[in-house]
Amino acid sequence: MRNGGQMRVYRSLLFVPAHQLRFINHAPACAADLVLLDLEDSVPAKEKPEARVLFKKNLEFLKAHESRVAVRINRPLDDCLLDLEAVVRKGVEALLLPKVLGPDHICLLDESIAKLEQKRGLLVGGIKVVAMIESLAALHRVDAIAAACPRLAALALGSEDLSLDGHFEPTSKNLWGPSQAIVFAARLAGVQAWGFPGSIANIDELENFALQLEQGKSMGFDGVMCIHPKQVEVVNRVYALTDIDILTARKIVHAYELAESKGQGAVEVDGKMVDLPVLERARRTLEMIA
């Protein structure tokens, strides 16, 4: 059987170096929706073999503390294959693929992951992949990347690498266009979009960070990758559903369904016309608390 269904929606995603036990031990207390064990940039080359050896133990620790876990693997093929051997295991939700160049890259890794899943008695397609858009080449092909294979569950904006490749500063203004392109591609393909129009590196500018998150949420981003626990707190606050959000969504769904039973295609709720797009947004809100 292929394709293990859609990945649940995550708001806050916290990178944790896969070789740093003190950070791993602290991760469950950070309240991130998803812990991203990182085998790539935050792990020095000489530490990567040990990080792979310790992965199973660290995964078991995080799962015992009810954390959901994904893994960012390495881009170079030799490191990538070693990573896959170590991390394709029960309990891993997804693999983040850095510096993706095109759909062929996704499809080749899909085949390798599937072979390991089958060999280890896992549901083929159950471990999802997230394509990190970190170059102009990837941004140019983002629609094709988003539709590369059923295993792909999300696109993620790599703002620092993308801005480096494009020779521009990672400001909201400069990242607005790339952010929209990624969100649009994700929506067309029916996958999630992670990111916001800004730099992930400014961990002390939390007020500005919150403003950029509000922009990203308004644009349609589903979740945000964080590099520090205090960023997680801000993401969870910005993306939290309020009682008013939930009450309004329930009122819209109830009013529309009542109108539909009477043969009406639209209805007014609190001074706003509700048609199918408004209804679907309300239903999506209620799905998040189901």
Task: Give a yes or no: residue 267 inside a domain.
Answer: yes
pLDDT at position 5: 54
Task: Give a yes or no: residue 40 inside a domain.
Answer: yes
Which residue's structure tokens are 């020095």? 44
pLDDT at position 1: 33
What single DSSP character describes residue 200? S
Nearest one of 218, 158, 199 to 36, comparing CA atoms: 158
Q: Are 131 and 155 in contact (CB under 8 A)?
A: yes
- With a cut of 70, list the residues of the chain below it in pLDDT: 1-5, 288-290
CATH of the domain at 138: 3.20.20.60
Q: Are 200 and 179 in contact (CB under 8 A)?
A: no
Q: Who contacts 36 (Cβ-Cβ below 8 Å, separation ≥6)? A: 13, 14, 15, 16, 70, 71, 72, 96, 225
Task: Report the domain count for the chain.
Answer: 2
pLDDT at position 152: 98
Task: Give a yes or no: residue 5 inside a domain.
Answer: no
For residues 44 and 165, membership in a common domain is answered with yes
For residues 158 and 93, membership in a common domain is answered with yes
Instruction: Show the DSSP H helices in the chain as ranges.
Output: 21-26, 48-64, 77-87, 103-119, 136-140, 142-146, 159-166, 172-189, 206-219, 229-239, 243-261, 276-287
The tokens for 271 are 């001074």
Find the domain containing 251 and state its range: 243-287
For residues 185 and 279, membership in a common domain is answered with no
